Structure 1
Amino acid sequence: MGLKESESSIYLYSLKMISFLEQFHGGFAMFFSWEGILGSRHLLFSFMLYTACGVGSGQIHYSVPEEAKHGTFVGRITQDLGLEVGDLVSRFFRVVSKGRKDYLEVNLQNGILFVNSRIDREELCGHNPVCSIHLEVIVDKPLQVFHVEVEIKDINDNSPVFPVKEQKLFIPESRLSDSRFPLEGASDPDIGINALLTYSLSINDYFILDVKSKYDQDKLVELVLKKPLDREEVPEHHLILTASDGGKPELTGSVQLLILVLDVNDNAPTFERSEYEVKILENAANGTLVINLNASDADEGTNQEILYSFNSLTPSVIKDRFHINPDTGEISIQSNLDFEYINSYKFRVDATDKGNLPMVGHCTVRVEVLDTNDNAPELAVTSLSIPVREDAPPGTVIALISVSDRDSESTDS
C-alpha cells in the first residue's frame, strides 16, 4: 500500500533536507528505524546529520592514581570546559563513559569530577603502557560535546609472582662448570619501574645467578654451575630465588629451587639456537606449521634419540593453542588464534634424550600473531533526538554516533 499524503510530504521533505545538508555541511546518511509518527505506520528514515555546528572542540586531560578512594578529586571539569555550574541541570549536563563502567562521576552542585568506584589499572588496561578512561561530556541548549581523557597512573600495588612455589632441576653430576640452566622468572602486573625486576639467589657454594635482558622488561634468568657437583657428597641442593621490583618501597616474591643431582649420560641435547621467533597470521588454519625445531645430541644409541615436549611449566593456554610432535619437533596450530585476544605467545620447549638417566636441552619459542581485518566497525549512538520537527532548520544535530574497530590501526583503516 502507498504512503498517505501527509506521510509522503514528510518523507520528501526529509530527502530534500539530506540533499541540502550534504551540499553545505558535508553530511552523510545512516539508516535507523523510526516508529511511525502517525498512528501505527512505520517509516524508515535514513539520515544522520554530521555537522560541527554547536559541538564543543578540544580535549581536556586529567590524571588520577589507580586505587584512589571514592570521592578523590580529579578536576574542576565544568570550570575547565567553560561551563556555568548553575546551568548544569537546565542544560541536561551528562557524562558518557566509552565502554567503561562509571569509574568517574561529576558533582552537579560544584562541577567537580571525582572517583566514583575503585579503579584497578591492571584490570582495566593490563600491561598497556598508557591507560586512560575517555569521557564525553554532553550539554544541550545549545548542544555541545566535549572530550575528556583521564589517565590512570600506576602505583606499586603488586608483588612479583612466580608461576609455581617450587622449581625442580635435575642436574647430572657430570655437568661441567659454567653449565647453564634456565629458570622461570617472575611476572609483575604493574608497569614501568614498578614492574622492573631484579633477581638474587641465596648464598651457596655451587651456583650463581646470571640475568640477561632480552626485551624492555623481559629477562632471561639462568642458574650457572660454578664448581662440579658430587652426588655422593650432596645429592640435593635447596636454594631460594628472589625477585624484587623497582617500586618505592620495593615489593618482593620468591620461589624455592630444588636441585636433584643425577649420575650418568654426559651430553644433553642442544638446539641450533637458544631462542626462536616466529610470525603467523591470526587466521591461519588449524594444522598450520608454526616452526620445526631441531636438536642434536653428541651421545650414541638411545642416548642420542630425542623426544620433544612443552616444558612442564608451560601454561595450559599454550597447550590449547599449539601442538608439538614429540618425534619431529614440529609445532603446529591446533586451536584458532585471535590477535584481539592474545597477540604473542612465549614458551619453552624441552628436548629430552632416551638415556637411562635422561638429559634435557631447552630453547625458547616466541610466536607473534599478526592481525587481519576480521572485525567490523562497531557503532554507538550517544545522543539521539527523535522525533525531528518538520520545520527544523538546516544544521540541526539529530544524532551523535561514535565508531570503533577492535582491529589494529594497520588493518582497520
Structure 2
Amino acid sequence: MDSRTYTQVKGKKTGTAAGMAAGGGDRLTIGMKRLDSLEDLEEKMSPREAVDHVAKEVALVARLSVSLWAQLGLGGRWIVAAWQLFLYAALLMPGLIQVVFYYFFSPSVTRSIIYSKKPRNRLDLYTPSSSQDGRAWPVVVFVTGGAWTIGYKAWGALLGKRLSELGILVACLDYRNFPQGNALDMLEDVNTGVAWVLRHIGRHGGDPENVYLCGQSAGGHLLALVLLAQVQRKLAGRCRLLKGRTWDPRRTKGFIGVSGAYSLDGLREHLHRRGLCKSLFESIMSLDGKPALVELSPTYFARKLGLRLRGELPEVLLLHGKADKSVPCMSSSTFCEALNSGGVKCECRLYEGKSHTDPLVDDALRGGRDALMEDIVEMVLKRKIQKWQAPLLPGFLVTAASFVCPF
C-alpha cells in the first residue's frame, strides 16, 4: 500500500499510512489510533488499482508455481498424484460448477475482505439469508486444507453454503502457502485472521461472543497449533511459534478439527510415500532453517503443556474418516487423548469408511445425510439436526471420483 494521508479515521485526527509495509507486527498507526485491518481504513481500491492488484496476484501465483515445481522435482509419485487430482476434479466438475456459480454470484457471499497487510490475507464471508430477529449470528471460522501448498479460501465454499443456510455465519480464511511462506508464516496469518474475526465480525452481523473455529487437514493443524501457542503465550509471556496479536482462546466457544494432521513427525514417512517428499515437508515445517516436525505438532505441544491446559481451551471436537489414506485417523485419536490428559473437554468421532475428502466434498455433492454438517451444527447450535441434502451430481460420478482421488 502506498503512502497516503487520511483526514479522519473513526473520529481521530489526520495521520499517515506511510510505512505500512515496513511497520512492526500486523498493526498500523494513524494519528493516535492503532489499526490492524485495512478494512478499518474504509478505503476502496479504484478500478485501475484493482486491475493492477489482480495482475500482480496472477504473476505471483505463476512465480510460486514454478518455485513449487522446482521443489517437487520430476518424481513420478507426485506426477501421478497430480493426474489423479485432475481426474478427480473433472469427474466432480458438474457439481463444482454449481458451487463456483454460487461463490461468484450469490448475494450471501462477500469475497476477499482484507484482514491484514500480508499477502493472501483475505477472507470470504457466507451470510445467512434468513432473519435472526435482531440477534447476531453464531460464527464459524473455517481454515481449509491443501497439504500446506495448495490451500485456498474458496475451497470452503460448499461448507459455507450449507452452514449459512442453517443460520450460521461462516468466515473462510486464506493464508500463505509454501513456498510463499513456511509454517510460521501460515500460523501468523491464521492467528491474525482469527483475531480479526473476534474484533470485527459484529460489523457483519456475527456474534463475537459465539465464535467457533473449524479447520480441515492442514487447516486443522494450523488452528490447533495457534490455540495451543496462544495458551503458552498467556502462561509464559511468549511463544516462538506465534507472531501478531494476542487473544484468549477462551473467547472462542469451540474448536472442530476435520481430518487434521496433529503428529507431524509420525506423518513424515507416510506423506513421503503419498507423494509429499520429506525434504519439501521439512522445508515447510522448519524453525530457524531446521526441520521442527515435533515442535510444530499439536499433539506434542498438548503433552508439553499438560495439565496447564485445564480451563484454557474451549471444548474440542475431532472428526476423522477411518478410511483416510492421507492422514490416518490415529492422528485425531492420539491428539484427543493428549488433550483429555491435559484436562480439556475433547471428543473424537471417527466416520466409518470415509476418506480424507469424503466429509468435506464428496458427501456434500452426493446428497442425502451429511454427517460433517450435522456434527458441526450440533456443536454450534446445540441441537441435533437430520437434514437431507439435494445431490449436486449423480452418485456414480462421486463414487468414481472417490476411487481416483489422490487424497
Output the TM-score relative to the length of structure 2.
Answer: 0.20
Task: Select the structure that is richer in strand.
Answer: 1
Rg comparison, structure with higher value: 1
Output the TM-score relative to the length of structure 1.
Answer: 0.20
Task: Select the structure that is richer in helix.
Answer: 2
